[in-house]
Amino acid sequence: MNPLVEVSHLEKHFEIRSGLWRTVSSHVRAVDDVSFAIAAGETLGLVGESGSGKSTVARLLLRLITATGGSVRLEGREVTTARPAEMKALRRKMGIVFQDPAASMNPRAKIKWSLRRPLVTNGFEHARIDDQILAMLAKVNLGPELLNRYPHQLSGGQQQRISVARALLLRPRLLVLDEPTSALDISVQAQVLNILLDLQEAFGLTYLFISHDLNVVRYVSDRVAIMYLGKLMEIGPVEAVLQAPRHPYTQGLAASSPPMSPHQRGRQRVLLAEQPPSLIDLPTGCRLHPRCPFRQTICEETRPELRELAPGHWAACHLAENLPAPQPRDT
Amino acid sequence: MTSIWKALREAGRNKSFLVGLAIMASLIAAALLADWISPYTYDEMVIVEALRPPSGQHWLGTDHLGRDSFSRLIHGSRIALKVGAIAVTIQTVVGVLLGLLAGYYGGWQDRVIIFLTDVIWALPPIVLAIAICTLLGPSLTNVIIAIAAVSWAQFTRIVRSKTQALKNMPYVEAARAMGESDLSIILRYILPNVIPVIIVLATLALPVAVVNTTALGFLGLGAQPPLPDWGVILSESMTYIRRAPWISIFPGLAIIYVVLGFNLLGEGLRDALDPRLKV
φ, ψ at A17 (rounded to 5°): -105, 145
Q: For residue A14, what are the β-bridge partners?
A: A28
**Consecutive H or E run containing A277:** none
pLDDT bucket at B10, cuts 50 / 70 / 90: confident
Pairing type for strands A23-39 and A3-18 reads antiparallel
Longest dimension (CA), chain A: 68
Lowest-confidence range among A1-5, A270-274, B125-129, B222-226? Answer: A270-274
Q: What is the pLDDT of residues B171-201, one digit of tens each?
A: 999 999 999 999 999 999 999 999 989 999 9
**B183 close contact with A: CB closer than 8 A:** no
Q: What residue type is A216 in one-letter code? A: V
pLDDT bucket at B276, cuts 50 / 70 / 90: low
Question: Are B192 and A109 within 8 A, CB to CB?
Answer: yes
pLDDT on residue A26: 84
- Facing residue for A100 by CB, picked from B170, B181, B192: B170
Can you tell me the ipTM of this complex? 0.90
DSSP-based three-state secondary structure for A230: coil
**End-to-end C-alpha distance for chain B, whole angstroms:** 19
pLDDT on residue A269: 65
Sign of CA dihedral A94, A98, A101, A104: negative
Average pLDDT for chain A: 91
Pairing type for strands A206-211 and A43-47 reads parallel
pLDDT bucket at A327, cuts 50 / 70 / 90: low
- CA of B273 to nearest chain A CA: how many angstroms apart? 13
- Facing residue for A117 by CB, picked from B173, B178, B192: B178
Provide mean pLDDT across the span A257-263.
66
Question: Are B188 and A98 within 8 A, CB to CB?
Answer: no
Question: Are B177 and A96 within 8 A, CB to CB?
Answer: yes
pLDDT bucket at B73, cuts 50 / 70 / 90: very high
Q: B240: how many CB neighbours lie within 10 A of its CB?
A: 16
* Distance (Å, whole) CA A87 – CA A67: 15
Q: What is the pLDDT of residues A171-189, one digit of tens each?
A: 999 999 999 999 999 999 9
Instruction: Return the exposure string of A216-246: e unless at least 16 CB atoms fall within 10 Å of the residue's CB, then b.
Output: bbbbbbbbbbbbbbbbbbbbbbbebbbbbbb
Provide mean pLDDT across the span B59-81.
94
**B180 close contact with A: CB closer than 8 A:** yes
pLDDT on residue A324: 76
Question: Are A166 and B175 within 8 A, CB to CB?
Answer: no
Question: Are A121 and B184 within 8 A, CB to CB?
Answer: yes
> Among candidates A235, A260, A230, which has minimal Cα distance to A250?
A235
**B196 close contact with A: CB closer than 8 A:** no
pLDDT bucket at B275, cuts 50 / 70 / 90: low
Provide mean pLDDT across the span B20-38.
95
**Model-level pTM?**
0.88
What domains, with CATH codes, occur in chain A? Answer: 3-93+172-322 (3.40.50.300), 108-169 (no CATH)
CB B153, CB B116: distance < 8 Å:
yes
Q: How many helices (H) and strands (E) does chain A have?
A: 10, 12
CB hemisphere CA count around A197 (13 angstroms): 13
**B168 close contact with A: CB closer than 8 A:** no
> Is the link from the previous residue into B226 a cis peptide, with omega within 30 of 0?
yes
Angle at A240 between CA A295 and CA A211, to 5 degrees: 80
Which positions in chain B touch A93 (Cβ < 8 Å)?
none
Instruction: Return the higher-pLDDT residue of A54 and B10.
Output: A54
pLDDT bucket at A328, cuts 50 / 70 / 90: low
Cα B254–chain centre separation: 14
* Distance (Å, whole) CA B90 – CA B88: 5
pLDDT on residue A256: 80
> Among candidates A250, A245, A244, A325, which has minimal Cα distance to A288?
A250
- Interface probe for B, chosen from A106, A132, A179 (most Cβ of B below 10 Å), is A106
pLDDT bucket at A165, cuts 50 / 70 / 90: very high
Question: Are B179 and A108 within 8 A, CB to CB?
Answer: no
Question: Are B193 and A108 within 8 A, CB to CB?
Answer: yes
φ, ψ at B154 (rounded to 5°): -70, -35
Which chain A residues touch B if contact means CB-CB below 8 Å? 59, 62, 64, 88, 91-92, 94-96, 98-100, 103-109, 114, 117-118, 121-122, 150, 163, 166-167, 170
The answer on pLDDT for A1 being more than 80 is no
pLDDT bucket at A325, cuts 50 / 70 / 90: low
CB B9, CB B275: distance < 8 Å:
no
Average pLDDT for chain B: 92
- Facing residue for B177 by CB, picked from A91, A99, A100: A91
> Among candidates A173, A105, A162, which has minimal Cα distance to A137?
A162
φ, ψ at A248 (rounded to 5°): -55, -30
Which positions in chain A touch B189 (Cβ < 8 Å)?
106
Sign of CA dihedral B89, B91, B94, B97: negative
Q: A26: how many CB neighbours lie within 10 A of its CB?
A: 15
The answer on pLDDT for A201 being more than 60 is yes
> Among candidates A322, A279, A305, which has minimal Cα distance to A48?
A279
Question: Are B173 and A59 within 8 A, CB to CB?
Answer: yes
User: Order of strands across the sheet with A23-39?
Assistant: A23-39, A3-18, A69-74, A77-78
Integer CA distances (angstroms), A2 to A29, A39, A72, A114, A308, in order: 30, 7, 14, 34, 20
CB pairs under 8 A between A and B: 66
- Facing residue for A103 by CB, picked from B171, B175, B188: B171
Lowest-confidence range among A54-58, A268-272, B82-86? Answer: A268-272
pLDDT on residue B1: 45
- CA of B133 to nearest chain A CA: how many angstroms apart? 37
Which positions in chain B touch A91 (Cβ < 8 Å)?
177-179
> Among candidates A210, A228, A231, which has minimal Cα distance to A220?
A210
Which positions in chain B touch A106 (Cβ < 8 Å)?
171, 175, 188-189, 192-193
> Among candidates B66, B74, B117, B115, which has minimal Cα distance to B94?
B117
pLDDT on residue A267: 54
The answer on pLDDT for A331 being more than 50 is no
**B171 close contact with A: CB closer than 8 A:** yes
Q: What is the pLDDT of residues B213-265, one digit of tens each?
A: 999 999 999 999 999 999 999 999 999 999 999 999 999 999 999 999 999 99
pLDDT on residue B32: 95
Which positions in chain A touch B169 (Cβ < 8 Å)?
103
CB B265, CB B207: distance < 8 Å:
no
> Among candidates A162, A143, A140, A165, which has minimal Cα distance to A152?
A162
* Distance (Å, whole) CA A52 – CA A222: 21
- Facing residue for A88 by CB, picked from B3, B170, B179: B179
Q: What is the pLDDT of residues A8-44, one digit of tens each?
A: 999 999 988 887 777 888 888 899 999 999 999 999 9
Q: What is the pLDDT of residues B209-223, one digit of tens each?
A: 999 999 999 999 999
